[in-house]
Amino acid sequence: MRLVPLVAGLLFGAGMLVSGMADPHKVLAFLDVTRAWDPSLAFVMAAALAIALPAFAYARRHPRTLIGAQPIVLPPRSPLTPQLLVGATLFGIGWGLSGLCPGPVLVVASGGSLGAIVFVLAMAIGMRLASRCAPRRASKRAPQASDGDAACG
């Protein structure tokens, strides 16, 4: 069943290219409502919601997937936290400045775009730092200086 995630990933990447979500100029034109606003990506987002909402409704009512009868595990609902708000704000700032977000930037980087590759490297470094600087859960071992805590300040 490893073929299903591969096909899903390829379909996602193709969808990003066809829809224009992987084109930073198109994304920036969508986000810039003060000048030459391009509302076409709103239709892409509406189509995504039209697919996702019924899928999540199905997942809430059924314990197993249609293909392979694997358990369906939805993320728990969680309250707004300062970490979530800061992360969402940083995401929005990065998306607004670059016109790229994590999914589409992988598609663009796979085409060899230097800017997208730099974006992916910066994203990976940021994810690594965030995981090292995140508050430790009680069940984890005590942090040590070699864990990168010095990079957290």
In angstroms, rounded to a whole number, what is the distance separating the alpha carbons of residues 86 and 1?
Answer: 37
What pLDDT, in 10s, does the model give residues 16-60? 888 888 898 999 999 898 988 999 989 988 998 999 999 889 998
Q: What rounded mean pLDDT belongs to the chain?
A: 83
Count of residues making up the chain: 153
The three-state secondary structure class of 3 is helix
Identify the CA nearest to 104 among candidates 51, 48, 59.
48
Round to whole Å and give the CA distance between 142 and 37.
51
Domain ranges of the chain: 3-152
pLDDT of residue 141: 44
Task: Give the separation between CA 71 and CA 89, rounded to whole angstroms.
Answer: 33
CA 98 – CA 103 distance, rounded (Å): 13
Mean pLDDT along residues 114-128:
90
Contact 66, 48 (CB under 8 A): no
